[in-house]
Amino acid sequence: MVSTRTGRRMTLWSRRGCSYYWPPKPRVWRHCATECREQPQLKGLFALSKGSCSGTLKGPVLVELCKRFADDVESLRRFDDAHLYHQITFAASLRHSRDEFLPHLAPDLDAVADVVLGRMSTGWFAQPTPGTPQSRFSKTGEFGPIGSLASHLGAEISEKPAGGAWTSSYLPSGESAWARWEQAEFSHESRDPWSVHFDASSCALYQIDSLDDFTRLVLRYPGDTQNGRVGIDWSTVAADFHAVHLTAKGLLTVQNFPVSTPLGIAELRGWDAESTVWLRVPPGLRVTPAND
């Protein structure tokens, strides 16, 4: 990776000639168009997975979280896992109140980001997920049959698999990782909490824990393409996996981070919580009231 500065504009490029420009043109991203796994020299730019994040782009969720605690880093170290998780989901929710919600280098936030990302490899955040049982909100408790997995680019909701079944993990406090969103957005539906049990050893699960993971998913299962963007074909994903899981770290570092691929710009939008979308009914399924 080589970098140069021309005035106030910095250009980064790889040996293969794929370019990324900083600062970006408004609403336009030009990233390397080759999968990160195939270009190890770019992993430091995109992954934010290990070590210091000095000199790396930070996703907007991570930026918003770090800005809130830039003057009080020690509080991040004192938070228990559930409290820190709720801070992450609050940062993700700020996309609704920002004129611009985009990745930034933000070098002044490097130290805070290192603390946050360090927490992602400890405690609840480091546990294998999604574990069983999962939490789910539903009026009846029924799980399946899975409906059409059709999706198309446009509104955030339309880019998700239409008939998928959604669950979230339980936090160490026993609260569902989706519970606060349920209260804020769906309280009018009066849905009850349920626990979804399944045979985890027999499930094929795809996990989005980093930008690398998301990019591989898009490249392997490309869907709708229009206006320079590319989505995911969830029906073909379902042929190989029971579910796709977004970890808390994935929410922190992947959501609303546009990634360039040879097929167009891909972006994970509107998941908003640690969550799993089920594309097939899991083996060993058993659903019980959450309080049982």
pLDDT tens-digit profile of 157-178?
Answer: 999 999 999 999 999 999 999 9
Q: Does 253 map to a domain?
A: yes
Is the CA virtual torsion 27, 272, 36, 56 positive or negative?
Answer: positive
Buried b (16+ CB within 10 A) or exposed e, 251-279: bbbbbbbbbbbebbbbbbeebbbbbbbbb
Q: How many CB atoms lie within 10 A of CB 217?
A: 19
Q: Does 50 map to a domain?
A: no
Q: Does 159 map to a domain?
A: yes
pLDDT value for 145: 87
| Ordered alpha helix ranges (H), 133-233 | 179-185, 211-220
pLDDT value for 7: 37
- Cis omega (within 30 of 0) for bond into 145: yes
Q: Does 107 map to a domain?
A: no
pLDDT of 152 > 50? The answer is yes
Helix axes 60-68, 110-119, angle to 10 degrees: 110
Q: How many CB atoms lie within 10 A of CB 19?
A: 14
Please compute the mean of the pLDDT values over residues 89-102 and round it to a whole number: 95
Domain tally, the chain:
1
Q: Does 281 map to a domain?
A: yes
pLDDT of 183 > 80? The answer is yes
pLDDT of 260 > 90? The answer is yes
35 alpha-carbon distance from chain centroid: 18
pLDDT band at 56 (very low <50, low <70, confident <90, very high): confident
Give which of 105, 24, 37 is closest to 261, Cα–Cα: 37
Q: Does 119 map to a domain?
A: no
Q: Does 147 map to a domain?
A: yes
pLDDT value for 144: 82
> Among the listed ranges 124-133, 168-177, 192-201, which one has the minimum average pLDDT value?
124-133
Average pLDDT over the chain, rounded to an integer: 84
Give which of 49, 39, 37 is closest to 14, Cα–Cα: 39
Residue with tokens 């080589």: 2
pLDDT of 281 > 50? The answer is yes
Query: Can you give the residue range of the structural domain that contains 209?
Result: 134-289
pLDDT value for 43: 39
pLDDT value for 291: 83
State which amino acid sits at residue 280: R
pLDDT value for 52: 54
pLDDT of 4 > 90? The answer is no
Q: Does 213 map to a domain?
A: yes
Q: What is the pLDDT of residues 20-55, one digit of tens each?
A: 333 333 333 333 333 333 333 333 334 433 445 666
Helix (H) or strand (E) holding 131: none
Give which of 200, 187, 286, 212 is closest to 243, Cα–Cα: 200
pTM for this entry: 0.83
pLDDT band at 292 (very low <50, low <70, confident <90, very high): confident
